[in-house]
Amino acid sequence: MGTPLDRPFVAFAGGPTGHWEVTASATITGSPLPPVSRVDVHERVGLPGPDQAATWTLVGRVSNGRYTRRTELDALTAIQAPLGRRAASRAALIPIRKSPAWWALAQDERRAVLAERSQHISVGTRHAGTIARRLCHSRDLGGAFDFLTWFEFAPEQEPAFDELVAELRGSLEWSYVERESDIRLARRPSNRAA
């Protein structure tokens, strides 16, 4: 049986302080997030409140998979890079909201768009050995986004990450994305042990 720590709440707090320094920030679709210079990531067992010092706090929760088949999961699990690698000093926080048209689809139709027609899982799996990731769901928490996606990689992997993101953004799945920001980050060396 799972514990609450298997599916923690994760708060991404953007503001003047934090362990991750913003190196670039772009609004891909929809309304922008207010610009910030730092981001902090907090894991909690219970639902976190807003960080008072932060400009914005985005809260999501690690959840169960919805669309991944056993064979895909096994292939992914065999190679997936873990979070927190020392060499992975770059990160991306990409919050995403999908449209009412997406949520009006049935589960099997969403799977067909995401996996079969957009190849999200197979395209992503090509990068999973070098790019660590965490998918947080926030739709049911009533946030401004449906998903808070977080990726960690070494600086030399950023061009490959950019290619991956461009490939996904050109897919049918992304025609259902109505709000997306892309915040790139570098871990602050002095705060690594903090």
Please report, to the nearest 10 degrees, the dihedral formed by the alpha carbons of residues 31, 35, 36, 42 taken in order: 0
Does position 121 interact with ligand HEM (CB under 6 A)? The reply is yes
Closest to ligand HEM by CB, 17 vs 149, is 149
Q: Which stretch binds ligand HEM (CB under 6 A): 33-41, 43-51, 125-133, 186-194?
A: 125-133
List 32, 65, 129, 170, residue binding ligand HEM (CB under 6 A):
65
| Distance in angstroms (rounded) separating the CA atoms of residues 137 and 160 | 25
List 17, 149, 171, 191, residue binding ligand HEM (CB under 6 A):
149
Closest to ligand HEM by CB, 124 vs 191, is 124
Q: Which stretch binds ligand HEM (CB under 6 A): 15-23, 35-43, 47-55, 91-99?
A: 91-99
The three-state secondary structure class of 33 is: coil
Does position 155 interact with ligand HEM (CB under 6 A)? The reply is no
Strand partners, 184: 24, 92
Q: Do 175 and 99 contact (CB within 8 A), yes or no?
A: no
Side-chain half-sphere exposure of 82, counting CA atoms within 13 A: 3
| Distance in angstroms (rounded) separating the CA atoms of residues 48 and 141 | 11
Site for ligand HEM, rule CB under 6 A = 65-68, 76, 94, 96, 98, 120-121, 124-125, 127-128, 131, 133, 135, 147, 149, 151, 164-165, 168
